[in-house]
Amino acid sequence: EDKVVQSPLSLVVHEGDTVTLNCSYEVTNFRSLLWYKQEKKAPTFLFMLTSSGIEKKSGRLSSILDKKELFSILNITATQTGDSAVYLCAVSLTSGTYKYIFGTGTRLKVLA
């Protein structure tokens, strides 16, 4: 059975801290891994990763994929209270339609 697991489930940090969120997967027919940020509404796209070892960066956020060890990390540096959200990892498969399998999510709270 295809599975995506995120850790930690929740995290509380202070502004300025750096956090690392983890996503591991066990799937057949891997196509890509995606990170989303979810506040009160639907998820907002952050990154799509298809190749191992290539870091993607957007401001204070960065992410990398390891297809050999089957995991990805999302780093947030110099955290701000606006980073408080649930971070979701999803894996897209090559078989069939463009179905995503979502992980459990990591709930991040950044304190002022």
Partner 1 sequence: GAVVSQHPSWVICKSGTSVKIECRSLDFQATTMFWYRQFPKQSLMLMATSNEGSKATYEQGVEKDKFLINHASLTLSTLTVTSAHPEDSSFYICSAPTGNSNQPQHFGDGTRLSIL
Residues that bind partner 1 (CB under 8 A): 31-32, 34, 41-43, 45, 48, 50, 88, 92, 97-105, 107
List the structure tokens of 50.
């298809």
Taking the least distance from each CB to partner 1, the nearer of 31 and 67 is: 31
Can you list the positions of beta strands (E) in 9-70?
10-14, 19-26, 30-38, 44-49, 56-58, 61-66
Q: Shortest gap between Cβ of 93 and partner 1 (angstroms)?
A: 10
Taking the least distance from each CB to partner 1, the nearer of 34 and 110 is: 34
Q: Shortest gap between Cβ of 100 and partner 1 (angstroms)?
A: 7
Taking the least distance from each CB to partner 1, the nearer of 24 and 77 is: 24
Which residues pair with residue 21 across a beta bridge?
74
**Residue 52 carries which side chain, given as an amino acid letter?**
S
List the structure tokens of 108.
């991040």
Q: Shortest gap between Cβ of 51 and partner 1 (angstroms)?
A: 12
User: Does the bond joining 43 to the residue before it have cis omega, within 30 degrees of 0?
Assistant: no
Q: Shortest gap between Cβ of 16 and partner 1 (angstroms)?
A: 26
Taking the least distance from each CB to partner 1, the nearer of 5 and 78 is: 5
- The answer to whether the CB of 55 falls within 8 A of the CB of 38 is no
